[in-house]
Amino acid sequence: MITPLKRARGLGSAKEGPEHFMRQRLTAALNLVLVPFAVGLIATLAGADLSAVKATIARPIVAILLIALVLSIAVHMRIGMQVVIEDYVHDEGAKMLLLLANTVFAFGVAAIAIFAVLKLSFGG
Amino acid sequence: MAEASSRHAARERPLSPHLQIYRPEINMVMSVFHRLTGIALYFGALLLAWWLFAAATGPQYFAFVNGLFATWPGMIVLVGYTWALIHHMLGGLRHFVWDTGSSLDVASVDVLSWATIILSLLLTAALWLYIAVERGWVAAWQ
């Protein structure tokens, strides 16, 4: 329940938190469009030879949507795994390490995928 | 006062009944599935990055990785991956409905939860049937 006072202040007593909730739903909505696009793309390209794959991914609209997808899923899965870690890991040290690993994994996967799309686009 | 509360804290108090005691309800099972598919997709994202990286590396390595995905274990992983994607996506749609505050009565919750699992299986089957027809696997069997 949001009372008018809370709405005026924007946040509940925790002073923070809704941005994760909102970001998770924003990226979910983006994924709703981008994931079917990527599944369709990969289903068409699977088994094709590299020159055909390169030609398709090098098209600006395809490359841009793929990079947007990678960014959106990286943000979404990082928040999701953070919730899982916070739910089940109660030792402070282990929790901090896992949250750090979570960030490294999400951004690492995104970095690899974006590098690959850029190389397929510009790599000649 | 302080003494009393510390005495209470020291005693092993009973916890409220949790997973072990409830008969599984479909919405509870779908909630677990949503989390599990989310965790699977988290690691599955590596497969997407790996496939793109293989394509960016060169024809030989790309052919090698494609070959791995084309094996039976590889195909099973891919079918599981697409089911997890579709199931998590439908679960997300269900949460979007609930976020608006609608369909929170028991009957609607049951319908939406059953719809998640049934539709996810149907859509996954439809996707792979389409892929099989497109790629001529069906014709190859006849």
Residue from B46, B48, B86 whose CB has the most chain A CBs within 10 Å, to mutate: B48
Residues 78-97 of B with CB under 8 A from A: 82, 85, 89, 92-93, 96
Would you call B42 an interface residue with chain A, using a CB distance cutoff of 8 Å? yes
Using alpha carbons, select from B15, B117, B10, B52 the residue that is nearest to residue A42.
Answer: B52
Would you call B30 an interface residue with chain A, using a CB distance cutoff of 8 Å? no
**pLDDT computed for residue A6 by the predictor:** 58
Using alpha carbons, select from B68, B87, B88, B91 the residue that is nearest to residue B78.
Answer: B68
**pLDDT, tens digit (0-9, with 9 covering 90-100), for A51-82:** 999 999 999 999 999 999 999 999 999 999 99
B128-136: long-range pairs with CB below 8 Å, 24+: B128/B79, B128/B82, B130/A43, B131/A43, B134/A43, B135/A47
Mean pLDDT along residues B118-126: 97
**pLDDT computed for residue A5 by the predictor:** 66
CA–CA gap between residue A33 and residue B92 (Å, rounded): 13
Mean pLDDT along residues B129-136: 87
**pLDDT computed for residue A47 by the predictor:** 74
Which pair of structure tokens corresponds to residue B52? Answer: 């793109």
Which pair of structure tokens corresponds to residue A43? Answer: 């289903």
Using alpha carbons, select from B99, B90, B78, B100 the residue that is nearest to residue B122.
Answer: B90
**pLDDT computed for residue B2 by the predictor:** 46
pLDDT band at A10 (very low <50, low <70, confident <90, very high): low
Q: Measure CA B47 to chain center.
A: 16
CA–CA gap between residue A65 and residue A37 (Å, rounded): 8
pLDDT band at B102 (very low <50, low <70, confident <90, very high): very high
**pLDDT computed for residue A9 by the predictor:** 62
A:B CB pairs within 8 Å: 83
Residue from A27, A71, A75, A109 whose CB has the most chain B CBs within 10 Å, to mutate: A109
- The answer on pLDDT for B89 being more than 90 is yes
Answer whether B126's CB lies under 8 Å from B133's CB.
no
